[in-house]
């Protein structure tokens, strides 16, 4: 079993300069991560579909510097300096310092961009932190060529988690589990693990993201997770997540789309129920979120087409459905759901494989 110690490095060489470019996708949770302990340890296990089109592409240059006292880095977003992203990155470097002691030897220039519209309300922290963690691992591989492929990806996920919990699910695999669960022997609180036993019915699953509200997040995820401390329903919720994880992994293997829908929609509503019943309390759905949910239920009942929804900590709706009903569902979205989207905007995505090293 891999433990935290395995991610420390003692022997590594030094190089003058290196640059890499990596892409990492976003992911959409089926069983939600909501609540965490010290050091980015999740309060419950979660599972997600890795996306394909919503990605962050990050270029990083490492140049050897004189002093090693502090981290030094520049951050560019779409080629332009972006000061307000820097505190989050600094915090990330501080959290991973113990595992990547070499980072302080370099001045680091990070240039990042997203394939999805900025401020679309789509979580960019998962793809962003996963892409950055991958670049760090590319450097580590260069200065420590003995690193095995297995440890490379596990550590990439481990580092990504320290940046943003859900980011550890964006490294490798179409379906990823993060968090200890007794039904999955390899599962870990430290990194995401690929769930491979996927039935044909879930291959190429589609996710169309309806942009209901592109405004700034009302609740940051850090504040959100904290709301699960002293939450009156927390313990039951964490138990339920364990049960749902065990159930959904079986369903993903057996191919039962009807049962899949029940768990996925219940998880989305539970996430929002937790927010509505915490102190302080929040309603992150908008009237149009509910309109869309009701339309999906009506369409599903009337047409017998297996389409369902899930939600993040916001008002946008992810519409999930098998590839073989794509034409029908896209037509339904255009005819009946686009009116509820801000400026009629939506993004077509589907299950993907995870990170790529581009350069």
Site for ligand DP6, rule CB under 6 A: 29, 32-34, 40, 46, 123, 125, 164-166, 221-222, 225, 271, 312-313
3-state SS class at 35: coil
Give the residue with the Cβ less far from ligand DP6, 61 or 312. 312
Rounded least distance, CB 270 to ligand DP6, Å: 11
Rounded least distance, CB 85 to ligand DP6, Å: 14
Are the C-beta atoms of residues 21 and 357 closer than 8 Å to each other?
yes
Are the C-beta atoms of residues 206 and 350 closer than 8 Å to each other?
yes
Rounded least distance, CB 178 to ligand DP6, Å: 8
Give the residue with the Cβ less far from ligand DP6, 155 or 225. 225
E-strand stretches of 135-283: 175-178, 192-194, 206-210
Give the residue with the Cβ less far from ligand DP6, 23 or 46. 46
Rounded least distance, CB 216 to ligand DP6, Å: 15
Q: Cβ neighbours of residue 353 under 8 Å, at least 6 residues apart?
A: 50, 52, 172, 173, 174
Give the residue with the Cβ less far from ligand DP6, 43 or 75. 43
Give the residue with the Cβ less far from ligand DP6, 208 or 310. 310
Give the residue with the Cβ less far from ligand DP6, 34 or 158. 34
Are the C-beta atoms of residues 321 and 349 closer than 8 Å to each other?
no
Give the residue with the Cβ less far from ligand DP6, 34 or 62. 34
Task: Measure the CA–CA gap between 183 and 143, rounded to whole angstroms.
Answer: 37
Rounded least distance, CB 273 to ligand DP6, Å: 13
Task: Measure the CA–CA gap between 93 and 89, rounded to whole angstroms.
Answer: 6
Q: Across the beta sheet with 206-210, what order do the strands follow?
A: 308-311, 317-321, 206-210, 346-350
Q: What backbone torsions phi and psi does residue 67 show, to the nearest 5 degrees?
A: -95, 160
Task: Measure the CA–CA gap between 29 and 49, rounded to whole angstroms.
Answer: 6
Give the residue with the Cβ less far from ligand DP6, 122 or 329. 122
Rounded least distance, CB 121 to ligand DP6, Å: 12
HSE-CB of 32 using CA atoms within 13 angstroms: 24
Are the C-beta atoms of residues 172 and 194 closer than 8 Å to each other?
yes
Rounded least distance, CB 282 to ligand DP6, Å: 12
Nearest residue to the partner ligand DP6, using Cβ: 165
Rounded least distance, CB 19 to ligand DP6, Å: 27
Are the C-beta atoms of residues 92 and 125 closer than 8 Å to each other?
no
3-state SS class at 123: coil
């Amino acid at each position: 079993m891999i433990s935290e110690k395995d991610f420390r490095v003692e022997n590594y060489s030094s190089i003058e300069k290196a640059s890499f470019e990596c892409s990492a996708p976003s992911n959409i949770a089926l069983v939600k991560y909501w609540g965490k302990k010290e050091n980015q340890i999740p309060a419950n296990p979660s599972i997600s579909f890795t996306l394909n089109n919503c990605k962050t592409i990050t270029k990083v240059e490492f140049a050897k510097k004189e002093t090693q006292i502090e981290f030094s880095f520049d951050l560019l977003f779409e080629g332009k300096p972006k000061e307000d992203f820097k505190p989050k990155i600094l915090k990330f470097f501080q959290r991973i310092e113990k595992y990547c002691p070499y980072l302080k030897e370099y001045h680091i220039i990070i240039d990042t961009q997203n394939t999805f519209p900025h401020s679309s309300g789509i979580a960019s922290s998962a793809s962003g932190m996963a892409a950055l963690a991958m670049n760090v691992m590319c450097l580590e591989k260069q200065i420590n060529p003995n690193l095995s492929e297995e440890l490379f990806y596990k550590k990439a996920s481990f580092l990504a988690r320290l940046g943003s919990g859900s980011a550890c699910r964006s490294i490798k695999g179409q379906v990823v589990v993060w968090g200890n669960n007794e039904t999955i022997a390899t599962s870990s609180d430290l990194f995401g693990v690929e769930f491979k036993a996927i039935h044909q019915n879930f291959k190429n699953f589609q996710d169309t993201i309806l942009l209901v509200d592109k405004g700034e997040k009302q609740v940051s995820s850090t504040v959100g997770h904290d709301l699960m401390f002293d939450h009156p329903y927390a313990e039951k919720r964490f138990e339920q997540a364990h049960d749902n994880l065990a159930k959904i992994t079986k369903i993903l293997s057996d191919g039962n789309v009807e049962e899949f829908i029940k768990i996925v929609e219940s998880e989305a509503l539970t996430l929002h129920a937790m927010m509505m019943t915490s102190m302080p309390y929040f309603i992150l759905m908008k009237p149009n979120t509910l309109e869309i949910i009701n339309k999906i239920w009506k369409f599903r009942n009337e047409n017998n087409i297996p389409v369902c929804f899930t939600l993040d900590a916001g008002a946008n709706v992810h519409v999930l459905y098998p590839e073989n009903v794509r034409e029908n569902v896209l037509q339904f979205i255009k005819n009946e759901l686009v009116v509820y989207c801000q400026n009629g905007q939506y993004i077509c995505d589907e299950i993907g494989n995870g990170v790529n090293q581009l350069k």
